Structure formats: structure tokens, C-alpha cells
Structure 1
Amino acid sequence: MYVGTLSFDLLLGDVHSLKEKRSVVRPIVAELQRKYTVSAAEVDHVDLHRRAIIGLAVVSGDATHLTDVLDRCERLVAGRPEVELLSVRRRIHGDDD
């Protein structure tokens, strides 16, 4: 069994309130969950209106499949024009860990 996590550090564009922030972050989280069947949520910077950290986790029996899903999720977030992806942190845990 393999567990993979991603942490996206995002800078939001023209956002001036927490309400506007939610209207940007929620669709990204929802699309990740719907498209790739992963667990995702905003996990940090919840009180800052121009920054967000989205955390994501996925479990798989195959390391290749896990890496593929994580790559697709990263491309999806990086391709969103309303956010700037500042950094991505990736971790993969296997049975040997």
C-alpha cells in the first residue's frame, strides 16, 4: 500500500476578501475530489485572503498509479489561471516506511 500527499502553496490573484477567496479555493478542491477521487481540503492560511495551502492525499496499491494521480493533480492546480502556484510539496509513503 502506498500513500501520497501533495501540499500546494497558492497565491490568489485579484482577491480582496475571505468570501472571494472561498469562491476561488472551493472549486479547485471540488474538482480535485471529483476528477481524481482524492481527499483534498484547504489546510492553512485560512485567515489570509490572498494565500491558501491545499492539502491532498491519495491511497493506492500501485506506486506507478499513485505517481500518475499526483502528477495529474499537480498539473490541474498549476493550470488554473486564477492562482499562482508558489510551491508543491510531495511525499510518498510505502510499506517500507
Structure 2
Amino acid sequence: MRLLPWTGTDGKPCYLSTDDPDSLLSRLADDVEAAQLASAETVLAGARAVLHDDKSGERAARFALTRTVESLGDVLRIAVGRGDGTR
């Protein structure tokens, strides 16, 4: 069973039961994971920039932190789905 990188409409985890890594849903999940990881790199760079800018205000810090938390959630879901983390 593979934990997919998204949740259902009810917020519950979605799983894929297949041994075919080339199935349409497997490839879609791989593409979504790749996009989430790329986004996390961008968010991390932005958060670092906000932290290093003495003129960044509370609004910028809150925005950066919110995006960082979202990205961290995505990355952790990917790690758990790949068996590299625990939940």
C-alpha cells in the first residue's frame, strides 16, 4: 500500500494498492511528490530570505511560516509514504 501525497475530501489519507509503479495513478503521485518537493525548496529559500531581512515585518514572517508549515507537512507525508518516516 502506498500513501498518496494528498488526502481525500474528508481530510483522511488516501492509499494506492498496486504493484505497478508505472500505473497512471502511481505516475501521477510521483509527479505530485516531485512538485511538492520542488515547491518546498522554493518556500525554504523564501523563508530564509525573510529571516535574514531585518526589515521583514510580522506579516512577511507569518506568511513565510505558514507556507513553511504547509511544505513541511507535504515533505513528511512523502517521507512516510516512502517508508522513510513514521507517523
Whether the TM-score (by the shorter chain) exceeds 0.5 is no
TM-score range relative to shorter protein: 0.3 to 0.5
Which structure dedicates a bigger proportion of its chain to helix? Answer: 2
Which structure dedicates a bigger proportion of its chain to strand? Answer: 1
When the two structures are superposed, what TM-score results if normalisation uses the length of structure 2?
0.36
When the two structures are superposed, what TM-score results if normalisation uses the length of structure 1?
0.34
Higher alpha-carbon Rg:
2
Higher relative CO (Cα under 8 Å, sequence separation at least 6) belongs to 1
